[in-house]
Amino acid sequence: QAGVFTYDPGFTSTASCDSTITYIDGDAGILLHRGYPIDQLASKSHYLEVCYLLLYGELPTPAELEDFESRVTMHTMLHEQMMNFFRGFRRDAHPMAIMVGVVGAMSAFYHDSTDVNDEWQREVASIRLIAKMPTIAAWAYKYSIGQPFVYPRNELDYASNFLRMCFAVPAEDYVVDPILSRAMDRIFTLHADHEQNASTSTVRLASSSGANPFACIAAGIACLWGPAHGGANQACLEMLKEIGTPDRIPEFISRAKDKNDPFRLMGFGHRVYKNFDPRATVMKESADEVLELLGVDNNPILQVAKELEKQALEDPYFAEKKLFPNVDFYSGIILEAMGFPTSMFTPIFALSRTVGWVSQWKEMIADPQNKIGRPRQLYLGETTRDYVDIENR
Ligand code: SDX
């Protein structure tokens, strides 16, 4: 059960690194952040408190939390000249393309927090990245729809600030719905960190060369964009819309089982979880709650999702392959109900995961022995042979 860790000395680890941040038991469907179960954090905590826990290892006291939230709040604005980066993209650029570019460019603006050997600079870079990611994501969205950028407001909490920067327009006042803000904050928390997933391993590998933190996080964003990883939430909603009605579900289930068909059920399966993804359980509860509160609980896409989950979980193929909904299966339904286009789903995942990338980056930098460094390979190519002149080939 949770908290009981047995380590078999005979176990030959294939682990890429040591870590004390997040623990996953894929068979038991357990996800702990510094020992705290994800369902407790999602229901009792909030994103910036989880950020503090991931970064510093303990839940903050009230004074520590107030100081941390104030430091994050004071770094939410971007250097005004960074607006030129957004305006350099085509309007139809995917927001992930913009995020990769703008976050990488941060190293050209925040020189005083790029020296990875300076603990204070590492701390400032960490706060800047967590604080500015909502502004970057929101401005990427505003740019894509041709609306003016909305600046952050210091009196708003983290999730409310993001919603307002996405949905407010100068022509009218915008009041953040506390229900949407709570749902947004919970989605941030559910995506905050996830052990050594592909994008986190990318950040660790990039950091092992001593590259600056902004370049390393940009590398993580690029990796997360893939449809097999963070891009799955967008791909999943597009799949659910393509299915359209419950009567078409059997057709898609048989395609997912057909080895000759590259189609996979998006939002299903996981490299580690082989029982259930505890985040999907919380996300499904959130979907019911948010859609009911928004008065769209009869959303046909939600009905298709629930029926697809039911039929897939009853299908022996998926049971045998241990496939079930993952964190991405329901998140898109909530985000669309909140007003986001599918193109914003992965940027929201990237925004949420920034604290996980930064926490794991700090952990690796603090322990030089704990680096992925330089992976080796199993060479299966030709043995040594002499060059053949072209006239003899
Ligand atoms: C995330 O690592 C992380 O922690 C990632 C993440 C995080 O928080 O960072 O959790 C976020 O990336 C979640 C996953 C989002 N991706 C998707 O939902 C895309 C659809 N899922 C698949 O692409 C797939 O399940 C993967 C990539 C997630 C896992 O791929 P694997 O390792 O091949 O899955 P597996 O070993 O469990 O597969 C077992 C079998 C395979 O068949 P065989 O080769 O044994 O015959 O099941 C098949 C797979 O082909 N399979 C699927 C399937 N996923 C796996 N068949 C149909 N539909 C699927 N979704």
pLDDT, one tens digit for every residue, the chain (393 residues): 333 344 444 444 456 788 999 999 999 999 999 999 999 999 999 999 999 999 999 999 999 999 999 999 999 999 999 999 999 999 999 999 999 999 999 999 988 889 998 999 999 999 999 999 999 999 999 999 999 999 999 999 999 999 999 999 999 999 999 989 999 999 999 999 999 999 999 999 999 889 999 999 999 999 999 998 998 998 999 999 999 999 999 999 999 999 999 999 999 999 889 888 999 999 998 888 888 888 877 788 989 999 999 999 999 999 899 898 999 999 999 999 999 999 999 999 999 999 999 999 999 888 877 666 777 888 899 999 999 999 999
Q: Measured from the CA of 199, which atom of ligand 1 is nearest?
A: 9
pLDDT of residue 15: 66
- pLDDT for 8 equals 44
- Residue 347 burial by CB count (10 A; 0-12/13-18/19+): exposed, middle or buried? buried
Kindly give the number of the ligand 1 atom that is closest to the alpha carbon of 197. Answer: 2
By CB neighbour count within 10 A (0-12 exposed, 13-18 middle, 19+ buried), where does 233 fall? Answer: buried
From 189, 270, 313, give the residue whose CB has the most ligand 1 atoms within 8 Å, as the site to mutate. Answer: 270
Ligand 1: residue whose CA is nearest its atom 43? 321
Measured CA to CA in angstroms, residue 2 lies from 13, 37, 190, 271, 363 at distances of 21, 8, 18, 20, 23
Ligand 1 atom closest to Cα of 230? 12
Alpha helices per DSSP H over the chain: 38-44, 47-56, 62-73, 83-88, 95-105, 119-144, 158-167, 178-190, 198-207, 213-224, 232-243, 249-257, 278-293, 300-314, 316-320, 328-337, 345-366
pLDDT at 190: 97
Closest C-alpha residue for ligand 1 atom 48: 321
Determine contact, residues 22/32, Cβ cutoff 8 Å.
yes
Cα 347 → chain centroid: 8
Closest by Cα among 308, 309, 51 to 191? 51
* Ligand 1 centroid distance, CA of 275 (Å): 13
Ligand 1 pocket test: which of 236, 271, 273, 315 has the largest number of ligand atoms within 8 Å of its C-beta? Answer: 271
CB 303 within 8 A of CB 240: no
From residue 37, how far is each of 30, 183, 207 by CA, in Å?
7, 19, 28
Closest CA to 283 of 233, 351, 224: 233
Tell me the whole-structure pTM to 2 decimals: 0.91
Nearest protein Cα to ligand 1, atom 57: 264
Between the CA of 256 and the centroid of ligand 1 the distance, in Å, is 12
**CA nearest to 112, candidates 87, 75, 85:** 75
Q: Which residue has the tokens 């460094």?
A: 373
CB neighbour list of residue 20: distance below 8 Å, 6 or more residues apart: 34, 57, 363
The burial class, CB within 10 Å (0-12 / 13-18 / 19+), for 245 is exposed
Q: How far apart are CA 10 and CA 26, in angstroms?
A: 20
* Number of neighbouring beta carbons within 10 Å of residue 25: 18
271 CB less than 6 Å from ligand 1? Answer: yes
pLDDT at 10: 45
Would you name the residues annotated as active-site residues? 270, 328
Q: How deeply is 114 buried, as exposed, middle or buried, from its count of CB atoms within 10 A (0-12, 13-18, 19+)?
A: buried
**Contact between 294 and 246 (Cβ < 8 Å):** no
Ligand 1 and 194: CB distance under 6 A: yes
Minimum CA distance residue for ligand 1 atom 1: 229
